Amino acid sequence: MQRMSVRGHLTLALVSLGVLPSALFAALFWIALAERLEAQAVDVARAMLRSGSSIAGERAIEGPRRDLPSILLLAGDAGDADRARSVLRDTAAPRPEYLALALLDESGRVIAAYPEEALAAGSLHVPRPGETRLGVAAFSPPFDSGELGSVVIEASYSNGRRTAVAFINLEWLSGRLYLSAGSRGDSLGIVARDGRYVASSDPSRMRAGERVEPSILSGETTRAADRGREYLVTSEPVPGSEWRAVYFRSRAEALEPLREFTLRMAMLALLTLGASALIAYQAWLQVSRPLLDLVRDIDGIAKGRYDERVPLDFRYEYREIAAAINAMAESIEVRGRELKRSEARYRLMFERNGVPALLLGADDASIRDANPAALAYYGYSRPEMTALGAPDIDADSRTAADYAGTPGIATRHRLRSGEIRFVAVFSSPLEIDGEALLYSLVFDVTERKVAEERNVAALEEKTLLLREVYHRVKNNLQIISSLLTMQSAASAAEPVVSALQGAQDRVLAMSLAHELVYQMPDLTLVDAGDYADSLLSYLADAYRVPRDRVSTSFAPLTLDLDQAVPFGLIFTEMASNAFKYGLPAASTGTVRVSIALSRGEGPKEALLVVEDDGPGMSPSAGRADTLGLSLISGLAEQLRGGAAWTESPSGGTRVELRFRVSRS
């Protein structure tokens, strides 16, 4: 395909700048003008339509409805024919639409007529659509009256004794409609319900009995073709009748200004085109020819001979362009040398790298190049290697998106020998000659992977052994608890039984701690809430306390095993004392147990509260020298906390244990 010359481009640009704005303006204005003219045509049609409708309604409908009763009233019931003719003459004088007026008796005989020569008494048969109703003006369909020599409609009004009849000249009415039409190309008509013309500015339509299309009578403005011409047609009802006035507005005449505007814009476009061509020729002489000379001079630089320079013998701006091109050639020459050095460094780093390196396509992870270390690692020759892609040697079915989507991936690669090796591939994007590539380094991590798997297996084995140890410790403690139960059952001394019960509770607390650890995923942690809830269930059963008399509120708290055992022993002592002293057998009180955590930054502090609303223990019990209370104080110090005994607001005993926790 032949390219356009500079002169052609310049000419096209100037012509476009000269013609396109005018053409765009003409197109937009043409659309707006067409819409405006068509809207104006519709407005004119509606105005003419209202005028024609008013004329038809007044002259053919409302006039006879007023005049005919007046004729009967003025003529009276007497047989004075002269008076009747005078009334008819006076009524017809100002009403040229009345072709004739007549007064009939009950039998339909003409009593009087005006003019007399138009209606010979007794010789005219007047066609009627039906019997005339008393007190209501009736109108006949249009008919051609031979006696009157015109197309007329008959309007009649009867009072029962006399009937007044008016023959309305539709030829005259059509003439008035002709005068009301906006232009010679327009047509204004009155049509009956069935679409037949009653009157028309073109009387031939009425005489021929033409009809209009039913769609025209809807009242909406529509386009219609009639007698080879296009019209904008609208209609509206004639007041007081079943007729409709129809106006045909000639679309060609309405859009005549648009054709004139189009002609003038075409002439303007031709003038603009000629002026643009002249300006383009002058611009070519002043701009294009020096530019072509400049292009010829820099052609050598464009072909890669960067040591050539453009002579600075041009004028004005072209001299600056030539100097800029010379500077660009020097810059390209310098960058070319730097690019060659950079490529040499890249090849050196790629080829001599001791780590297997692959050059992959960014879109499909195809192997574009491989360094000697990669060829030795995989066991392929360079042609064999570059015929593969990274997914072809990937034993884990990694796709090209995996290699391109993440900087580093862990996968398995298959060597030529079939051996599967664990590798870590680290890729970084780069671009060479406009192509997106991935520079990928492959590290063999098989030995490390095998070592990790051995460590995981050893850890799982040790975890299993540790769970077994916890399980056996729990079983041994339960055996001790059972022995204490048997010893308690064999003794009748109440102090001995109470002491054995306390010992059994403490052994159970330690046993339950080991059982919870055995069940936890992490063998070093115990959920304090679950631990406390399990101890409460056991102690409530042991002291025969209904569980609904114990309320709890536990914040989330996890304890190390080193904290869980002293926590459980302290909790056992606190809850046992509350059950024994705060809820005697006859009491109806409750025991409230809660665990809360401090908020804010820094080390967390847990607060364990056990309180009752019974008679309880004395607030000075904290200083009593008993084994249980001494055990609480000693274990609280082991938890790096302290215990305090106060009186509950409900009158019982409140025991608080505060201690630091390493986690929550």
Q: Which of 50-64, 279-293, 340-354: highest mean pLDDT?
A: 50-64
Contact residues for 278 (Cβ-Cβ < 8 A; gap 6+): none
Q: For the segment 538-562, what is each residue's pLDDT rounded down to a tens digit?
A: 777 777 788 888 889 998 888 887 7
- Does position 615 have pLDDT exceeding 60, yes or no? yes
The CA-atom distances, in angstroms, between 106 and each of 277, 436, 626 are 91, 111, 141
pLDDT band, very low/low/confident/very high, at 109 (cuts 50, 70, 90):
confident
Mean pLDDT along residues 439-459 = 78
**pLDDT tier for residue 475 given thresholds of 50, 70 and 90:** low
Percent of the chain beyond pLDDT 70? 68
pLDDT band, very low/low/confident/very high, at 202 (cuts 50, 70, 90): confident
623: helix, coil or strand?
Answer: helix
Rg (CA), the chain: 58
CB atoms within 10 A of CB 650: 15
Say if residue 316's pLDDT is above 60. Answer: no
User: Beta-strand (E) ranges in 170-285?
Assistant: 187-191, 197-200, 222-226, 229-237, 244-250
Residue 27 has pLDDT above 70, yes or no: no
Report the SS3 class of residue 211.
strand
| pLDDT reported for residue 40 | 67
Q: How far apart are CA 356 and CA 375, in angstroms?
A: 8
Please tell me what DSSP assigns to residue 132: P
Q: What is the chain's mean pLDDT, rounded?
A: 75
SS (H, E, C) 222-243: EEEEECCEEEEEEEEECCCCCC
pLDDT at 1: 47
* pLDDT reading at 593 higher than 70: yes
State mean pLDDT over 245-268. 74
Task: Pick the more confident residue, 45 or 463.
Answer: 45
